[in-house]
Copies of this chain bind each other. A is one copy, B any other.
Amino acid sequence: MEDCFKKIKSVISEYINISEEEWQWYSSMLKLKKYKKKEIIYDINSNVNNIFFVNSGILRKFFIDVDGNEKTFHFTMEKGFAGDYDSFINDTPCTYGIQALEDSAVIVMSRELFQMSYKKLEEGEKLGRLLVEDYFIIYSNKLQSIYTKSPSERYSIMNKLFPGILSKVPQHYIASYLNISPVHLSRLINS
């Protein structure tokens, strides 16, 4: 097995049982790609039929809000999945973009791989269900965070979700993610 696929194999093996033979096929469909710090992996409105697994580095998912401002939606750290799952399911242009915030190595999973794995892996549908459940929970938490949490609660949840993020990500992205001003973020950090 290529060394670069070790992490994704361990994560997938937490979701389902996958035989060595299945893994041979599955891993033959994966591709490793490297991105430089600040590089845009894909932009809003592009047609990207991939989900990305973070081998190393940090990714930032962003969108353009109703006033035309770029906002940070989410971060993905090592061993997490990133992508625009909505457009991935519906085969529509992306409403989010993804940027590397550090030099990052990601594993590219194509829609073809997802669709074939539903048939070719004994537990392929289960893998699909569990991955989309995790995506669903991210979005559900995001909604609850917007609706029902105060800025300081959002800040505290973020620190649990992304350990060490304050030392890794520029503060203006963090403030944008929390939907607060950079001044408000400074107050929370220093409180």
Contacts and interface: CB of A to CB of B under 8 A. Distances in A.
Interface in A130-145: 132-133, 135-137, 139-144
Nearest to A95: B144
Contact of A148 (B95, B141, B150): B95
Chain B CB within 10 Å, residue with most, of A86, A90, A150: A86
Interface in A54-70: 63-66
Contacts of A144: 63, 95
A136 B71 contact: no
A179 to B, nearest CB: 9
A147 B66 contact: yes
A146 B67 CA distance: 12
Contact of A140 (B65, B128, B139): B139
Nearest to A84: B140
Interface string A35-68: 0000000000000000000000000000111100
A129 interface: yes
A146 B146 contact: yes
B129 A125 contact: yes
Contacts of A189: none
Interface of A: 63-66, 71, 73, 85-86, 89-90, 95, 118, 123, 125-126, 128-129, 132-133, 135-137, 139-144, 146-150
21 contacts: A63-B148, A64-B148, A65-B147, A66-B148, A66-B149, A71-B147, A86-B137, A86-B141, A89-B133, A89-B137, A95-B148, A118-B126, A125-B126, A128-B129, A129-B129, A132-B132, A136-B136, A139-B140, A139-B143, A142-B143, A146-B146
